[in-house]
Amino acid sequence: MAARVSVDEMNRIMREDVPMAANLGIRFESIEDGRATARLPFREDLLRPGGTVTGPAMMAVADVVMFGAVLSRIGPVNMAVTTSLNANFLRRPKPGDLLADGRLIKCGRRLAYGEVTLVSADAPDDPVCHVTCTYSIPPEEAR
């Protein structure tokens, strides 16, 4: 099945609808049906003590990547909202770009659920953060 949004569309939707994520410099890199990846470029102001990337920046990229994975399935429905997000920080990333890879585990009529794995761009085999996330999908008539 083809994705119902493209990378360019998702980057535009992010700029318009999720400006906080766009302002962090996040950009989508790939979208396919039920899956999306994005990059959080390194910036000094996202560091925490010890030189590690701050948790809220990781949660922001995870949240918007899951938004992309949801829209890849249902199309550009901008009233989809996060209802829960559970982040587990597994190791402290070195300063550097982070990559987030999100996939749907379930996409029903009213709820979508999936997971996002974050890695350092230069150590793709060692997850730094794992997130699960539930999105609420508005009923057809409310879109």
- Could you list the residues that contact a copy of itself (CB under 8 A)? 17-21, 23, 45-50, 52, 54-57, 59-60, 63-64, 78-79, 81-92, 105-106, 108, 113, 115, 117, 126-127, 130, 132, 134
Distance CA 63, CA 17 (A): 13
CB nearer to a copy of itself: give 86 or 122.
86
Cβ 48 to a copy of itself shortest distance, Å? 6
**How many Cβ atoms are within 10 Å of 23's Cβ, its own excluded?**
11
Cβ 86 to a copy of itself shortest distance, Å? 5
- Helix, coil or strand: residue 8: helix
Query: Half-sphere exposure of 118 toward its Cβ, with a 13 Å CA cutoff?
Result: 34
Question: For the chain, give me the number of helices (H) and strands (E)?
Answer: 3, 8
CB nearer to a copy of itself: give 8 or 20.
20
CB nearer to a copy of itself: give 11 or 117.
117
